[in-house]
Amino acid sequence: MTRFVAPMDAVWLWIESETSPTHVVVLQIFRPPAGSGPEFLDGLYASMLDPTWVKPGFRRRAYKSASTGGQFAWARDDEPDMAAHVQRATLPAPGRIRELLEYVGRLHGSGPMTRERPQWEARLVDGLADGRFALCTKLHHSMFDGVNMGRHMVSGLSPEADASDCVAPWITPPRHRDRIEPAPEEGRGFVAGAKQVFSTAGDVLGSFRTLAKTVPATMREREVPFAAPDSIFNGRVGIDRRFAGQAWPIARLKDVAKRTGTSINDVSLAMCGAALRSYLVEREALPERSLVAGVPVSLSGTAADAASRDGNAIGAVLCNLGTDLDDPIERLRRVHASMANNKSMMAGIDPLTTTAITSGNMAGFLLGAVPSLPKLPRPAFNLVVSNVPGLRRSLYWNGAEMTDYYPSSVVMNGQALNITLLSYRDEIAVGLTADPDVVPHTQRLLIHLDNALTDLEKASLG
């Protein structure tokens, strides 16, 4: 019997190409416990190589063959080669954050991971000048969505600095080992799997018909796929990647949101809109129409400390970023209205129709990523701006404090820039991932983001 990959997970396998790998890299930076020496990292690394308690989701390997009818299915790796998955690395001198971010970019741009084993890798990185170390974990998007990647990344850490039973993200924590379910039997046969695919497609088509009858007015008021202008961010990409990141106090965004009657998410999106406008003005490439962002939404809750699950349960709504506006408050109001309309629409429809809408938005994005198809006249949207919730408390790995936490997400054909935000403790970190040939000097966007927040603060006071 064959256990097929769910359609929402399989799509990340189907659209992957040599220049558009569909993996994510998560960067976590830690400060070793006071007084610890080299043996501390040696011990952590040894514990990361133990295959005994590797989580079931990290044992899955996607494959397809004649026996699966050309569909992707899951195989279970009962004896993972941990040395192939987990390795150590040392940054070149002088060991600044700059060298670390360049390393993340190289890891991200090293091409698709092999499908001969489960598609995840990790690097324990030392050599930072200030004595800290980093864990860089690369995960294929077919395994987990962004929210559940985040949950896995912190599942083995502890809020207690003196805890000594912490584990790497792919290891089941000791406190959860009595909850592990037996490995599932290899699901359905090919005929049953095909029936499920066609049944799901029929349900989605039916929900689109319902949507057309029940919410036409709402649909007219919201952003729709392929209404975004073409931009430099929507070109073909190569394999090289650059990563840049910076964090800002959440309190600063919260103050602006409170003064303007908006939300922290609205403020972060308005920051992105302003930064993109400034970047495009510098490059004399600003479209007359506003850029539109695809904003992923979780269909299974967003609590960062909820139990992690496997697979993808995500869709996307579209947000007008107000890049055609010069005034920061007007831009924030545009973003707020766009997101409020999305929330109102989602609140008034059933879950299946919600899935249909968000899948429709995603479909245009995925269609543009298929390497064999010509470039679309207009993109479904211009870029992804994702906001992944995090924990507001400090976390530790056997006494090592996690000081920084950054995401580096998917870049592919038609989507040469990705912006992902991730909150941790009292800061919100912004990770920028880009093809450097299409989006040169990516780090300039960090300067523009900082200026955008300052401008919003000044304007909201006035």
Give the active site residues: 141
Angle at the Cα of 182 (from 178 to 188), degrees rounded to 5?
Answer: 155
**Pick from 290, 297, 254, 249: which is nearest to 272 by CA?**
290
HSE-CB at 318 with a 13 A cutoff on CA atoms is: 27
Give how far Cα 431 sits from Cα of 129, 212, 216, 428, 462, Å: 22, 37, 36, 10, 30
Query: What are the respective helix, strand and coil percentages of the chain, to the nearest 5?
Result: 40, 20, 40
**Locus of tokens 């039916």:** 206
**Locus of tokens 């924590």:** 173
Residue 445 and residue 273 in contact, taking contact as beta carbons nearer than 8 Å: no
Residue 223 and residue 376 in contact, taking contact as beta carbons nearer than 8 Å: no
Does residue 203 sit in helix, strand or coil? helix
Residue 187 and residue 5 in contact, taking contact as beta carbons nearer than 8 Å: no
DSSP character for 89?
A: E
The helix (run of H) or strand (run of E) holding residue 448 is helix 444-461
What ranges in 128-231 are assigned the alpha helix state H?
A: 146-155, 190-214, 216-221
Angle at the Cα of 114 (from 113 to 116), degrees rounded to 5?
Answer: 150
Residue 328 CB contacts under 8 Å (≥ 6 apart), including other chains: 270, 274, 452, 455, 456, 459
One-letter amino acid at 265 equals N
Task: Kindly compute the dihedral angle of the four CA atoms of residues 5, 8, 9, 14, in this order, to the nearest 10 degrees.
Answer: 90
- Beta strands (DSSP E) in 321-416 are 383-388, 396-397, 400-408
Tokens at 118, concatenated: 């489960």
